[in-house]
Amino acid sequence: MQSKKDEVKQEIESAALKVFFQKGFSDAKMNDIADEIQISVGNIYTYFKNKKELFYSVVPPSLVDYLKNVLVENIRIDNQTFFDDVNNEKKSAIVQEQITILTQYSRQIVIIFEKNKGTVYSNAKNELIDLMIETKRPYIKDHYKRYEIGTEENMILLKIIANNVINMILDLLKHEMSADSRKRIFEALSLYWLYGLKSLNE
């Protein structure tokens, strides 16, 4: 009996994730979720007291913290190693972890950053951009051989780059494709980011 309840709960969560991904939290209705798996709305309320509880069950805050930690660690490694072969293994492990996250949580990530109206994630994108900039800040230099740019200008440049990185990830996640295709594209994007960030250190 318990296994049946667990199965129904998982079906509700799967349907909810699909609906939240398609419509966003504010526009999604419990009726939409019920219709997705042909059950009554009342049955959903047997497992979740309201839409918000169901939402945070499928898009938990712990996932946001995990995403931030992986991304910040990636930035640190990029700036500490500058393509140092000794650290390639560590860098590769971080990239693989990112690929795993993007594969397993693609819909949740899009919801967190783009379909978050009415949730605690409404400022998630700006918070992540600020975190990326703060992580990069200790590695900013006064002078660069490639260009002449002041500290204030550099911070604006970093904000633009961080915003573009997030947008590229979201664009990748919104495309329907196989896990292998997503992995290959993300690996190519990772090289693009890495070379771009390295140029800012010179």
Domain of 54: which CATH number? 1.10.10.60
Q: Are 23 and 84 contained in the same domain?
A: no
Rounded Cα distance, 12 and 36, in Å: 9
Q: Are 24 and 96 contained in the same domain?
A: no
For residue 128, give its domain range: 61-199
Query: What SS3 state is found at 140?
Result: coil
Q: Are 146 and 189 contained in the same domain?
A: yes
Average pLDDT along the chain = 83
What is the reported pTM?
0.83
Q: Are 66 and 13 contained in the same domain?
A: no
Please identify, among 32, 58, 84, the residue that sits at the C-terminal boundary of a domain: 58
> What is the per-residue pLDDT for 83?
46
Amino acid in position 110 = V
Q: Are 76 and 157 contained in the same domain?
A: yes
Mean local confidence (pLDDT), 176-187: 83
Question: pLDDT band at residue 178, thresholds of 50, 70 and 90?
Answer: confident
Q: Are 20 and 37 contained in the same domain?
A: yes
Long-range contacts of 8-13 (CB under 8 A, 24+ apart): 8/39, 8/43, 8/47, 9/47, 11/37, 11/39, 12/37, 12/39, 12/43, 12/44, 12/47, 12/48, 12/54, 13/54, 13/57, 13/58
* 35-46 per-position pLDDT tens digit: 999 999 999 999
**Closest by Cα among 132, 24, 152 to 73:** 132
Q: Please report, to the nearest 10 degrees, the dihedral formed by the alpha carbons of residues 104, 54, 17, 9 taken in order.
A: 80
Give, for 117, the enclosing helix (H) or strand (E).
Answer: none
